[in-house]
Structure 1
């Protein structure tokens, strides 16, 4: 299916041959949707439709609120997640699902790094997603853990997948080094509420096997 553009974002749809198959929305840093979907097909993954969104203003669209740069030479975060989420819910999703033969049996949201943070944030601002994949999510983001612990999702999620590289917290960066502790605490918080959730620790740092980790998360959501 041909990609289309909405609000400067490029949207690619990889449709399932099964009507009513679940649909997963994947926000991507550099348009990894084709690689992710292609890799799920030969290995008996349950059928699903993938919608990948690229050409994002990463530090704006994925950030829930303003924050200082995470690296010395990095850009600060300008919280634009609410604006982007409105575009996703009101324009991208209706356009993407207009072509489907049947409404999806469920709708999930997934992402890697800041997009994993955004996927989790999204369920606190909208009720359209019922499953979340937070792969190597930027859960070090200042104030985010506290936000999770003090707010209620718009709908109780069916399941949430968390993963992280085992070297991601091994850094001198005082902000980034909190990522594993925060991820484990957040995952335990959902588990204590009886939500189906898992935390997967993978070998390597943040920049290792991003595609493979993304696929693993989506497959876990599909098999629940």
Structure 2
């Protein structure tokens, strides 16, 4: 990646979108849903890892627990918001509204990848079952503790099978008294096996630390891997 880059920021339907690129020619587009304001730090981590040239589009400002969750489940803890399962409608916003605007500002990319961390990582894994737009998937510390997601992945068909899928997890993420969260490491290992059984090039990387350790670095490593495949 070149040191010089430009970023364009705009708002669409109440969401904040940034597009960062280092070139004007056609480059792979990596779309990532973020909590807020991670674009610059993530771009710098990707540059430090010498990622291949790409364009990064970040969307933030969504209702995290609602828009990124595939179906309704109760909250993890008391006094927290529930997961209201609006991923399909949010995915429609991305496909029908956000991506057309983003692509108008770029040379046509050779492919579009979807990336995400935590619940956005789960959303990235869910999306290929509902749309054929994304050809590569990067999910760092995805919320695969999510009830019934492993069964969904085993029994559902992709609209367009991804070329490759990257998965990662912190080695302390399953060490919790919360029974749902404690299932995450066993689940992600099962999920990697599911993808491999479908002949998808799959990487599973176990990182040091808990869910909040070096999040930008973990996401950058995920992006680098899919770009190099």
TM range (shorter): over 0.9
Q: Determine if contact 1:18/1:47 at 8 Å carries over to the other structure.
A: no
Deviation at 1:75, TM superposition (A): 1.4
Deviation at 1:18, TM superposition (A): 5.2
Q: Determine if contact 2:49/2:220 at 8 Å carries over to the other structure.
A: no
- Listed as ranges, the matches of 1:43-192 within 5 Å are 43-100=49-106, 102-192=107-197
Deviation at 1:42, TM superposition (A): 4.3
Deviation at 1:41, TM superposition (A): 2.2
Corresponding residue pairs, total: 223
Number of the residue aligned with 1:6:
12
Deviation at 1:56, TM superposition (A): 1.5
CA deviation map 1:88-114 (0-9, x unaligned) = 0011001011011x3101110000000
Q: Secondary structure at the match of 1:120?
A: helix
Q: Determine if contact 1:31/1:55 at 8 Å carries over to the other structure.
A: no
More deviation, 206-215/1-10: 1-10
- Does residue 36 of structure 1 match 2:46? no
Number of the residue aligned with 1:202:
207
| Unaligned runs of at least 5 residues, structure 2 | 1-6
Q: Determine if contact 1:40/1:215 at 8 Å carries over to the other structure.
A: yes
Q: Determine if contact 2:69/2:85 at 8 Å carries over to the other structure.
A: yes
Q: Which runs of 4+ in 1 moved over 6 A?
A: none
Decide whether aligned partners of structure 1 residues 149 and 43 sit closer, same or farther in structure 2, where only a CA change above 3 A counts: closer
| Unaligned runs of at least 5 residues, structure 1 | none
